Amino acid sequence: MEILTSILGFLRDVFSEPALLMGLVAFVGLIALKSPGHKILTGTLGPILGYLMLSAGANVITTNLDPLGKMIEHGFNIKGVIPNNEAVVAVAQDILGVETMSILVLGLVINIIIARFTKYKYVFLTGHHSFFMACLLSAVLGASGLKGTLLVIIGGFLLGAWSAISPAIGQKYTLKVTDGDEIAMGHFGSLGYYLSAWVGSKVGNPKDSTENIKIAEKWGFLRNTTIATAITMIFFYLLSAIVAGPDFVSTLSGGKSPWVFAILAGLQFAVGVAVVYAGVRMILADLIPAFQGIATKIIPNAVPAVDCAVFFPYAQTAVIIGFVFSFIGGVIGMVILGLVGGVLIIPGLVPHFFCGATAGIYGNATGGRRGAIFGSFVNGLAITFLPALLLPVLGELGFANTTFGDFDFALLGIILGQTGNVLNMTGIIAIVIAVLIALIVPSFFKTKSAALNNYDSQNHSS
Q: What is the pLDDT along the chain (462 residues), one digit of tens a residue?
A: 778 878 777 777 777 777 888 788 889 888 988 889 998 999 999 989 988 998 888 888 878 878 888 888 888 777 777 787 776 776 676 666 778 878 887 998 899 999 999 999 999 988 788 888 998 998 888 888 888 899 999 999 999 999 999 999 999 999 999 987 889 999 999 999 999 999 999 999 999 999 888 766 666 665 677 887 888 889 888 988 998 899 999 999 888 899 999 999 999 988 988 888 888 888 878 877 887 777 778 888 889 999 999 999 999 899 999 999 999 999 999 999 989 887 888 887 888 999 999 999 999 999 999 999 999 999 999 999 999 888 887 755 556 566 888 999 999 999 998 998 888 888 999 999 999 999 999 988 887 777 888 865 444 443
pLDDT value of residue 460: 45
Count CB neighbours of 425 within 10 A.
Answer: 13
Phi-psi region of 343 (alpha: psi -120 to 50; beta: other; left: phi over 0): beta
Radius of gyration for the chain, computed over Cα atoms and rounded to the nearest angstrom = 22
pLDDT value of residue 126: 87
Predicted model pTM: 0.84
pLDDT value of residue 154: 96
pLDDT value of residue 236: 82
Give the H/E segment covering residue 306: strand 303-306
pLDDT value of residue 137: 92
246-253 and 258-293 helices, crossing angle to 10°:
50
Give the H/E segment covering residue 62: helix 37-75
Tell me how far apart the alpha carbons of residues 169 and 165 are, in angstroms, rounded to a whole number: 6
Give the H/E segment covering residue 184: strand 184-185
Tell me how far apart the alpha carbons of residues 151 and 103 are, in angstroms, rounded to a whole number: 8
Distance of CA 12 to the CA centre of its chain: 19
